[in-house]
Chains A and B, each alone.
Chain A
Amino acid sequence: MVATSQLSRSRRPKWHYVAVGVVLIVVAVALTVAWQILAAPESVSRAVGPARVIAYFFGSLLFLLLIAGLVLIVILLLREVRLNERQSNFVSAVTHELKTPVASLKLYLDTLEYREMTPDRRAEFYRTMRQDIERLSGTINNVLNAAMYTDRPVADPRPLDIARVARHAIELTATRHQLPKEAIRYEGPAALRVSGDAQALETAVLNLLDNAVKYSKERVEIEIEVWGDADGQAHVKVRDHGIGMSRTHLPFIFTRFYRIGAEVRRSRTGTGLGLFIVRAIVKGHRGTITADSPGPDRGSTFTISLPGLLEPEAEPEAEAARA
C-alpha cells in the first residue's frame, strides 16, 4: 500500500547491509588464510620474486576493500540512525498536532455543557472550536497527502491554469489564517497554462503559503510570483519576510519528517511533512523545487519550476482549468 511505503519504514530485511557484511567477512577470511599461507615457513622458500609481489598487491587491495566496506557500513548506519530520529520526532509532532486541537475541543465542549455563559461568549467558543477543527483537518490532510503523492509521474496530466491555481491558494490561505487582503501579493499573468494535476499543484502551493504564514513574524507579508520562460517552463515563487533559516538546514528541509530544532521545545506547529509533500508533487510533474534564505530572520523563498508550459491558444479544457 502506498500509505505504508510513504509513512513508515519497510519491515523487509536490509539486503544491502547483509550483502556488505557478507563481502566483508569473505574478504577478512581470504586475507587471514592468505596471510597464514604466506607466513608458513615452507611457503617463504616457494613464494619468492613476482609471486610474492602479486600476493602482497592483492593482499593490500583486499585490505583496502575491507576498510572501504567498514566505512560504507558506518555511513549506512548513520543514515538509519538519522531516519529513526526524524521518525520519532514525527510521531511526537503528530501526537501533539492531533491531541492539542482534540484537547481544546473537548475542553470547550465540557465548558459549554457545564457552565452558564452569555450568548457572546458562547459564539466566541464556537469560533474557537471551528478553528480547532480546521487545524485538525489540516494535520489529517497533510498525513494523507504524504501517503498519496509520490515521486511517480502524474497518472493523468491535464491542461490547467497555474496562475488561477495560485490565486485560489492565496484566497484559501487568507481565509484560513484570517489575513488582510494585502498580506499576500500576487504578481503574474491572468492565465498561464501547464499540464498536470491541478489539485495536487494547489496542495503544493497551499503548503508553501501555509509555511510562509507560519514562519512569518508578527506582520504577514508574502509575495507570490508566477511566470513562464522561453524554455517552456512555468515558475511559481513564494517569498516571505519571516524567520528564515540558516544555510545549514537548506539541503534537508525537503526530507520527510525533517524539522528544525528539538520537538519538545517547538514554537511553530507542524509535522515535518509539508515540504516533503511539495517536493513529491513537483517531482511527480517532472519539475524542480528550490529553497533559499539569506539567513535567520531574513525570510525564505521557494520556487517551483514545472516543464510543459502550454501555448495560451492551446486547446482549452475548461473542465480541468476550473478544477
Chain B
Amino acid sequence: MPRVLLVEDEDHLAAGIRFNLELDGYDVETIADGLRAVDRLAPPPEGPVWDAGPAIDLVLLDVMLPGLDGFQIVERMRQAGNYTPVLMLTAKSLPEDVVQGLEAGADDYLPKPFDLPVLLARVRGLIRRRDWARGPAEGQALVRVGEAEVDFASLEIRKAGETVRLTLLEAMLLKLLVERRGQVVTKAEILEKVWNLNPDTETRAVDNFVMRLRRHVEKDSGSPRLLQTVRGVGYRLVEEPSPA
C-alpha cells in the first residue's frame, strides 16, 4: 500500500485530503508544521541515529507553512539526498510560482482550489511516473550515456567513480531522451510528458534541467557533444559523441 506524507497546516484541507486518499487505499501520515516535516524528510546528518518511520512513496506539500515554507522543505529534502516524489499544493498559482516550485525540486504542482478527481489522478500519475522512471530503459537496467552509467532503478548516475542521485524529473527527462536516442525530442513534448504541463507553457525549466543533466553526463558541459540543443526545436541525445 503506497504511503503518502501530507504536509498541510490547514486542518480542514488535511482532513478532507486524508479521508479521500485513505478511501483510495493509501496509507496517509500528516504533519502540520514545516520544521517537523524537515525532521521527517531531511534529518540533519549530524543528528542522532534517525528512525523516521516507514518509507514514504509520495509527499503532498503545502507551500505556506508555519516554521519553514514548502520551497525550503523540498530544497532541504533534495540536498539531504531524499528524492521521494513531491506534489506541491498551494494557493500561489502564478506561472513563476509553479516554476519556483519545480526549480526547488518538486515533481508536480497543483494550485488551490483543485478538483478532487484531478488531485487523485495527479497522485496516481506521480507514483506511476516514478515507477516508469525507475523501470529499465532500452530493455536494460543499466544504460550508458557517454562515459556515464545510469541506473534508473535507483535513480543514480555514475561517472568517473562518482555517484550522483537524480531527481524524478531529471530521471524522467533523461529516460525520455535515452529512449529516443538519436531523435529530436521537442520542448513541448518534454513539458507534456515529463512536467505534466501544457506544451505552450513559457518556462526556462526544461533548459535548466538539460543544463543540469549535461553536468552529469558531458565531459565539458560548456560545449556539449552528447546532449545537443536543436535550435528552435528541442534536444537530442546523440548515439556517439561527434568528433571534436
Residues of A within 8 A of B (CB): 92, 95-96, 99-108, 110-111, 114-115, 128, 131-132, 263-267
Closest 3 CB pairs of A and B: A267-B66, A110-B116, A103-B113
Interface footprint category on B: 20 to 34
Main secondary structure of the interface of A (DSSP, over half): helix
Contacts of A101 in B (CB 8 A): 12
B125-173 interface with A by 8 A CB criterion = none
Chain B residue at smallest Cβ distance from A105 = B113
Q: How many A-B residue pairs have CB under 8 A?
A: 72
Is there a chain A Cβ closer than 8 Å to B92's Cβ? yes
Contacts of A99 in B (CB 8 A): 91, 112-113
Q: Is the CB of B13 within 8 A of A104?
A: yes
Q: A103-B112, A128-B12, A128-B15 are in contact. Are A96 and B91 (CB under 8 A)?
A: yes
Q: How far is the CA of A95 from the CA of B115 in the complex (A)?
A: 18
Q: How far is the CA of A132 from the CA of B13 in the complex (A)?
A: 10
Is there a chain A Cβ closer than 8 Å to B222's Cβ? no
Residue of A92, A131, A267 contacting most chain B CB atoms (<10 Å): A267
Contacts of B112 in A (CB 8 A): 99-100, 102-103
Chain A residue at smallest Cβ distance from B15 = A128
A266 to chain B, nearest CB (A): 6
B153 to chain A, nearest CB (A): 36
Chain B residue at smallest Cβ distance from A124 = B15
Q: A111-B16, A111-B20, A114-B116 are in contact. Are A103 and B64 (CB under 8 A)?
A: no
Is there a chain A Cβ closer than 8 Å to B189's Cβ? no
Q: Is the CB of B67 within 8 A of A265?
A: yes
Chain A residue at smallest Cβ distance from B89 = A103
Contacts of A114 in B (CB 8 A): 116-117
B1-60 interface with A by 8 A CB criterion = 9-10, 12-13, 15-17, 19-20, 23, 34
Chain B residue at smallest Cβ distance from A107 = B16
Q: Is the CB of A265 within 8 A of B65?
A: yes
Q: How far is the CA of A96 from the CA of B64 in the complex (A)?
A: 8
Q: Is the CB of A131 within 8 A of B12?
A: yes
Chain A residue at smallest Cβ distance from B94 = A95
Q: Is the CB of B66 within 8 A of A266?
A: yes
Q: How far is the CA of A263 from the CA of B63 in the complex (A)?
A: 11
Q: How far is the CA of A131 from the CA of B12 in the complex (A)?
A: 9
Chain A residue at smallest Cβ distance from B91 = A99
Q: Is the CB of A107 within 8 A of B23?
A: no
B74 to chain A, nearest CB (A): 13
Residue of B19, B68, B114 contacting most chain A CB atoms (<10 Å): B19
Q: Is the CB of A110 within 8 A of B115?
A: yes
Contacts of B91 in A (CB 8 A): 95-96, 99-100, 103
Q: A111-B116, A265-B34, A267-B66 are in contact. Are A104 and B19 (CB under 8 A)?
A: no
